[in-house]
Amino acid sequence: MQYIKEQYQQISTLLSFALIPLSGFATDIYIPSLPSMASHLHVSSSAVQLTLVLFMVSAGISQLFVGSLLDSFGRFRLGIAALAAFTLSSAAIALSESIYIIYGMRIVQGISVALIVVGKRAYFMDRFSGDTLKNYTSLFSIIWATAPIIAPFIGGYLQSSFGWASNFYFLGLLTLVIGLLELKYGGESLRQFQPFKFKPIIQVYQSMLKTTDFTLALVIISLCYAMLLLFGMTSPFIIEHVFHYSPVVAGYSSLLSGVSLMIGGIISKSMIRKSLTKKITVGISLQLAFAVSMIIAAGYYSSLYTMIPFVLAIHLVAGFIFNNLFSYCLGRFSKNAGIASGITGGLMYVMASFFSYSLVDLVNIKSQAMLGIAYLVLVILILVFFILFYRARYAATNLQLSGS
């Protein structure tokens, strides 16, 4: 068994941080290429949007189960195998002329990313504790937000210069390099392996999912992430077909969206000791105001320059809310870090995909006004579930106090 050497601890930690945004890179880098892919493959816009959804759903469902595998068989060997599978599937997508082969390879990538990202989140819980661990977990969503900042920016230029397939060649090369670095500097972080017994594992899953405040917090972060997915699936068609800008501009727009998400996470980290209830309440109130204002403004004038500022404001607050409740979920069950990480990431992906694709399917989002209405629906849902979360958390706190 190859364990992490002490002299490589910092490098291993940096590599772990580098892989946390991989799920975002795997979706966001080819967002500016969606219209081009649809044209090249002779399929509809919804057909190429489905490549995003299949990846998200497969990654999400996989994360629900890979946590127990990682807790039982370790992080390192499964992670290396997943990196290799992701590299090969990226090459297969780039060379493919069939949307159905791309669908299959995106499912493979979703499973691979689940193993990689869950393992790397659990790595921090294996190696650190106390305030150090809390500090690192609060950085997760900030690091994760680098993907929607950097990936569409790179993807826009790759699309303009080399075409949509170059995005997947880039992804394959990236994971190949990181995989080689992992082989040299990485190693197993898990010290105490859990026996892989089906019944006890199922009991742990049931216990977590029956914890009401944990489950409701998952729904809220899923709705926040759905906002980003919604913009990713619809903005290239609005920006390129309605506003008549290039894929590079679509990439820049997604970059700004990612920056706003990261700023929201940074603000959240700076207010880590403030009351959770007050922070989220203010955030939801701001999102409601921004969504309504976006719809009203579209009635007077609609353009890239009136749409993007509202999107940035809404995403900034989404990043703020997400960071607070994502850390809350990860810290809820420290004794089963792999399973907790898997359930948190997995359910978030599945629910966010469901919320975003359902809105895209139900609402014909081809304008600023319709995008604003979709955002408003998501914010109202966040408000409803946060009220339920507040009540569940309050009841759990009172129960603990009465028990002590």
Task: Determine the pLDDT at residue 336.
Answer: 66
In a domain, 193, yes or no: no
Residue 195 in domain: no
Task: For 331-349, write each residue's pLDDT tens digit.
Answer: 777 666 667 777 887 788 8
Distance CA 258, CA 374 (A): 19
Q: Residue 139: inside a domain, yes or no? A: yes
Residue 224 lies in a domain: yes
Give me the torsion for CA of 194, 198, 204, 209, rounded to 10°: 140
Strand extents, DSSP E, 281-380: none
Structure confidence at residue 201 (pLDDT): 67
pLDDT for residue 236 = 87
2: helix, coil or strand?
Answer: coil
Q: What whole-number distance in Å separates Cα of residue 21 and Cα of residue 151?
A: 10
Q: Is residue 196 part of a domain?
A: no
User: Could you tell me which of 359, 392, 387, 354 has the C-alpha nearest to residue 373?
Assistant: 359
What is the domain count for the chain?
1
Q: Which residues of the chain have pLDDT under 70?
A: 1, 141, 194-198, 200-201, 334-338, 398-404
Measured between alpha carbons, how far is 350 from 370 in angstroms, rounded to an integer? Answer: 23
Within a domain: residue 65? yes
Q: How far is CA 235 from CA 34, 120, 227, 384, in A?
A: 10, 31, 12, 27
List pLDDT tens digits, range 166-184.
Answer: 999 999 999 999 999 998 8
Q: What is the pLDDT of residue 175?
A: 95
Q: Using an 8 Å Cβ cutoff, are 261 and 145 in contact?
A: yes
How many helices (H) and strands (E) in the chain?
Answer: 16, 0
Residue 404 belongs to some domain of the structure: no
Please tell me the distance from the alpha carbon of residue 127 to that of residue 191, in angstroms, as a whole number: 9
Structural domain range at position 18: 7-187+201-398
The CA dihedral of 148, 67, 78, 100, to the nearest 10 degrees, is -60
CATH of the domain at 126: 1.20.1250.20
The pLDDT score that the predictor gives to residue 334 is 64
In a domain, 226, yes or no: yes
